[in-house]
Amino acid sequence: MRRKGSCLECGECCRVFRMTCVISEMLAQHGTLEEAEAYYSFRGARFAQVDLEADRVGVEMAIPCGKLTGDSKCSLHDSPEKKPLICHRYPLAPDDIQSCGFRFV
């Protein structure tokens, strides 16, 4: 799949902190995926995407980016050399953001 489209500058991708975790590492620490999910949920994180085949889980927390302005704009949007690489690449998959200017074909 290829990403097409452009950023709408809505700030949606900047309102939530997203990370990818390794399921087998979680299981070593927590015993079961359900225990890991409970542990993370107690801290305000939720499992967004579980991919057992790829041994990874997407974890999200409602922590907005420190570069997000009051009107939900990225203060670095017009300074691409200052933006982290992940900001240029996001979204990475169709399910990352429900309403986005990017689409996958």
pLDDT digits (tens, 9 = 90+) for 35-68: 999 999 999 999 988 999 999 999 999 999 999 9
Cα separation values, 93 from 13, 52, 66, 76, Å: 12, 17, 24, 23
pTM here is 0.74
Residue 49 burial (CB < 10 Å; 0-12/13-18/19+)? middle
Whether 89 shows a pLDDT value over 90: the answer reads no
Average pLDDT over residues 20-29: 96
What 3-state class would DSSP assign to 34? helix
